[in-house]
Amino acid sequence: MSRASWPQFITDVFDHAAPVGASTFDVKNPATGAVLGTVADMTAADARQAVADARGAFKAWSQETAKSRTAAMMAWHDLIVAHVDELAQLLTLEMGKPLMEAKGEILHGASYITWFAEEAKRLYGDIIPTNAPGRRLMVVKQPIGVVAAITPWNFPSAMIMRKVAPAIAAGCTVVIKPAEDTPLSAVALVLLAKRAGLPDDVIKLVTCSQPAEVAKALTDHPDVRKLSFTGSTRVGKLLMRNCANTVKKVSLELGGNAPFIVFDDADLDQAADAAMLAKFRNAGQTCISANRFLVQIGVYEAFAAKLEARVAALTLGDGMAPETTVGPLINDGAVSKVESLVRHAAACGAEVRTGGYAVDGQGTFFPPTILTGGTPDLTIADTEIFGPVAALYRFKDEDEAVRVANDTPYGLASYVFTQDMGRIWRVSEALEYGMVAVNEGTVSSEAAPFGGVKESGIGREGSRYGLDEFVEIKYIGIGGLNR
Ligand SMILES: O=CCCCC(=O)O
């Protein structure tokens, strides 16, 4: 799409992204390497100013009635849905995923806004049965204050909505720092919030090319009372350490190493269809992507063949092309990392059934790949691949599957395929993961608590549990009522 033919809304986003006189940095299209446009390159000082502005807006916003916050959020939601096509184009242009997936991401993100707009009205407290005569014990839930939302490039739109919606529903104000690869989706969402009539400074945006400096300013700031971060475990640990200085509440959605376990009694077509979603959605660049396919010996070859047939039907290409089902990876570094994992696995004896090596030429393309014959001690089995590579491993029995699946410091999503109800319960309960998908290929929904255990994170997003992340519980005890 040439710049001249962009819809008016996309032109508006570019105008807002780089105000006249601002220092800027370039945003590139990973499918072509071309510069899409420029965005304001904000600094630590800008981040501190954004926090001050959000702090200034907090009192009025937190004192709005839930009904009025709900109405403002619904107006934002409706504008997002009205602009879904342009938002999806922008997302695909800056991030690379196929247009249909981008559209799905926008609508998925918007579902968190309606969910939390509705939940805002149900942020109930409690009356606790008294423990002494003449005394009453009450609990109220209060918004925590200014929230820093640090969001990733792989879901540049949905992760903003998933964090901002519960925060503002609870009465918090938010400073967003989007990933430097994908700031345009953030600019677009904040522009729509303004057009929807959300009060100034309730949502602030700090786009920047130096994420460490800005993230430090946000996590150092005493007026930021909560950090909500989605990204790598390495960065999550750094941010958590920094938050310790001012004892902030943190929600961390970090890395994963999802096992995808296929038992002998599974419906193999169902498992193979789900595998396509769990592995190849977003070119495998998802924290819940299946990372290790553990397949029981008796169905190993049959499952591999079904997967191979489905992979053969995928089309790698520019996400803007209607036939594309797998887009580019985010940048050159991602391609090198994925390729070196595959080369190492092949050198250790794994068979590359299809794909395997980076595509020469323009863009950052890596083909859908299947590896068989590997063992769980390979580097690729304990590294989050973040690319379209399905590595299959054999197991003998249920105990072995659970042991291998849990043999990782991560614990985000896991997938289990079996028809046996007893096994569904046993394995689901034994897996050390925050989420278990049984006989399906995704876990993400506004109605369900998304999050991990172990080094995959702390806290939950979505569902009624997601709202609790943005409130403080205050206990009020009233005594002397019998005098
Ligand atoms: O990569 C992690 C972001 C969450 C993606 C999802 O909700 O499916």
Q: What is the DSSP letter of 380?
A: G
> Stretch 426-434: mean pLDDT, rounded?
98
Give the pLDDT confidence score for residue 6 in this predicted structure. Answer: 87
Beta bridge partners of 393: 294
**Which burial class, exposed, middle or buried, applies to 45 when counting CB atoms under 10 A from its CB (0-12, 13-18, 19+)?**
exposed
Q: Quick check: CB of 296 below 6 Å from ligand 1? A: no
Question: 157 CB under 6 A from ligand 1?
Answer: no
Q: Where are the domains of the chain?
A: 3-254+456-475, 258-445
- Is residue 90's pLDDT more than 80? yes
The token duo for 363 is 């863009």
The residues with which 389 forms a beta bridge, in sequence order, are: 369
Angle at 239 between CA 214 and CA 55, to 5 degrees: 55
Q: Using CA atoms, how far apart are residues 312 and 307, in angstroms rounded to an integer?
A: 9
* Per-residue pLDDT, 88: 98
CA distances from 445 to 105, 163, 270, 335 (A): 11, 13, 20, 29
The token pair at 422 is: 């007893």
Three-state SS string over 31-42 comes to CCCCEEEEEECC
| C-alpha 347 – ligand 1 centre gap (Å) | 31
Residue carrying the six token digits 């959300």 = 198
Instruction: State which amino acid sits at residue 350.
Output: A
Residue 155 Cβ < 6 Å to ligand 1: yes
Contacts for 396 with CB less than 8 Å, ≥ 6 apart: 296, 297
Closest atom of ligand 1 to 155 CA is: 3
The per-residue pLDDT for 2 is 67
Q: What is d(CA 345, CA 41) in angstroms, rounded to the nearest whole number?
A: 40
- What is the percent of the chain with per-residue pLDDT over 90, rounded to a whole number? 97
Ligand 1: atom nearest CA of 285 is 1
Dump pLDDT digits (tens) for 365-395: 999 999 999 999 999 999 999 999 999 999 9
Model confidence pLDDT, tens digit, residues 433-479:
999 999 999 999 999 999 999 999 999 999 999 999 999 999 999 99
* Residue bearing the CA closest to ligand 1, atom 2: 287
pLDDT for 219 equals: 98
Ligand 1 binding pocket includes 102 (Cβ within 6 Å): no
Is 282 close to ligand 1, i.e. is its CB under 6 Å away? no
* Active-site entry in 94, 105, 253, 339: 253
Cut 0.95: pTM above it: yes
Query: Nearest residue CA, atom 6 of ligand 1?
Result: 444
Ligand 1 centre and the CA of 97: distance in Å? 13
**Contact call for residues 146 and 164 (beta carbons, < 8 A):** no
Ligand 1 centre distance from Cα of residue 56 (Å): 32
Please give the distance, rounded to the nearest whole angstrom, from the Cα atom of residue 287 to the centre of ligand 1.
6
Residue with tokens 């998933």: 162
CATH number belonging to the domain at 258-445, selected among 2.40.50.180, 3.40.50.150, 3.40.309.10, 1.10.3720.10: 3.40.309.10
Catalytic (active site) residue 253: yes
DSSP state letters, 87-140: HHHHHHHHH---HHHHHHHHHHHHHHHHHHHHHGGG---EEEPPSSTT-EEEEE
Residue of 105, 153, 155 with the most ligand 1 atoms within 8 Å of its CB, for mutation: 155
Ligand 1 pocket member 154 (CB < 6 A): yes
- CB atoms under 10 Å from CB of 344, counted, come to 14
| Distance from residue 95's CA to the centre of ligand 1 (Å) | 14
Ligand 1 mean position to 258 CA, how many Å? 12
The Cα 432–Cα 119 span in angstroms is 29
**How far is residue 468 from each of residues 166, 171, 248, 275, 456, measured CA to CA in Å?**
9, 12, 15, 33, 19
Enumerate the H helices of 348-462 as residue ranges. Answer: 398-406, 421-430
Structure tokens at 393: 């491993």
316 beta partners: 326
* pLDDT of 1: 62
**Torsions phi, psi of 335, nearest 5?**
-65, -45
Residue with CA nearest ligand 1 atom 8: 444
CA dist., res. 483 & res. 474, Å (int): 25
Is there a contact between 292 and 381 (Cβ–Cβ < 8 Å)? yes
With a 6 A CB cut-off, is 285 part of the ligand 1 pocket?
Answer: no
| CATH hierarchy code of domain 3-254+456-475 | 3.40.605.10
Give 150 Cα–ligand 1 centroid separation in angstroms. 14
**What's the pLDDT at 21?**
85
| Ligand 1 atom with the shortest distance to the CA of 286 | 1
Mean pLDDT computed over 89-97: 98
Residue 383: the pLDDT is 97
For the residues 37-41, what does the mean pLDDT come to? Answer: 96
Smallest CA-to-CA distance from 261 within 301, 302, 289, 294 is with: 294
Distance CA 305, CA 45 (A): 56
How does pLDDT run across 225-271, given as a tens digit for each residue? 999 999 999 999 999 999 999 999 999 999 999 999 999 999 999 99
pLDDT score, position 5: 82
pLDDT at 4 over 80: no
Pocket lining: 230 vs ligand 1, CB cutoff 6 Å: yes
Ligand 1 pocket, mutate which of 161, 230, 442, 456 (most atoms under 8 A from CB): 230
Give the pLDDT band (50/70/90) at residue 359.
Answer: confident
- Closest Cα to atom 5, ligand 1: which residue? 286
350 CA to centre of ligand 1 in angstroms: 29
Q: What is the ipTM of this complex?
A: 0.97
Q: How many CA atoms lie within 13 A of 4 on its CB side?
A: 0
Read off the pLDDT of each residue in 295-321 and give the average, rounded to a whole number: 98
Report the mean per-residue pLDDT for the chain. Answer: 97
